[in-house]
Amino acid sequence: MKTLDVVAFALNAALYVVTGIIFYTILPLSFGEVRFWPQVIIPAVFAVIFGPWVGGFGAALGIFVNDLVLNNNPLLSLMAGVTSNFVAFWLIGYISNQKWKLKPVVFLYGLISALLIIIAYFYTDIIYVSIIILSYIFFLVVSIVFRKSKWWNYEIGSVIGLLVGSAIIGIMVPLYLQYFANSPDSFTAALIFGYFIWTFATEIPFLIVLGPPIIWAIFRAFPRFRKQDKQREKN
């Protein structure tokens, strides 16, 4: 990593920590062990501008410090928070700086959604099947709306990255509750989908809506970053 990347990584983590503590203190909403977390936009922006490693590592360190301060549970943070944040924002940074075609991405996401629908149909309530179908429709709408936009890669990266990150949280949190916390909640498909859907549904609007104008403003203020972004697009 270059010196600028190291500085960006530190700033990413620091902003993630500070905004996380402030926002949750003001509005302490949560679903079980997963907090309402709109500040996901911060590492997403860093991932796009400075690359996937800055976004992923900054988010991982930031969420770990946040978890220590807010709930003092390092094991749960390492299992669910650190892993999900690193993978999600690494993917957002990587996908945003690549050239992707619409049809293969939509087809792959459709296969994943179909698999989730089958699992949800046999092991959970019909409401989860409906939510998965709606999430795929949402993905299609985003893809169609932004397919000719310069932000298409970012929007698709946000959906895919958060989808994977939410899945990690959906699996790891119930695992922790059952095997390390002596919780009455068992490791069930319903609980997994509950955490998965809560995480994805409450965070994706902030990535989709706030990402482009913030990134555009930064590129306008610091043209050097835009030049680096164009160079990555060529590569």
Domain that holds residue 198: 3-234
**147 has pLDDT over 80:** no
Q: How many domains does the chain have?
A: 1
User: Whole-number mean pLDDT of the chain?
Assistant: 87
Please count the helices (runs of H) and the strands (runs of E) in the chain: 10, 2
Residue 54 or 123, more confident: 54
Instruction: Look at residue 79 in the predicted model and tell me its pLDDT.
Output: 95
**183 has pLDDT over 80:** no
pLDDT tens digits, one per residue of 223-235 = 877 755 555 555 4
Residue 163 or 64, more confident: 64
- The two three-digit tokens of residue 212, written as one number: 């482009």
**What DSSP element (H or E) covers 35?**
strand 34-35
For residue 126, name the pLDDT band (cuts at 50, 70, 90): confident
Residue 135 or 35, more confident: 35
**220 has pLDDT over 80:** yes
Report CA torsion sign: 83, 88, 94, 97. negative
For residue 1, name the pLDDT band (cuts at 50, 70, 90): low
Q: Average pLDDT for residues 149-175, to the nearest whole number?
A: 89
Q: Which of 6-20, 45-59, 146-160 has the lowest mean pLDDT?
A: 146-160
CA dist list (Å): 166 to 79, 108, 158, 162, 215: 13, 18, 12, 6, 23
CATH number at residue 44: 1.10.1760
Q: Average pLDDT for residues 126-130, to the nearest whole number?
A: 77
**Count of alpha carbons within 13 Å of 25, Cβ hemisphere only?**
9
The predicted model scores a pTM of 0.84
**197 has pLDDT over 70:** yes
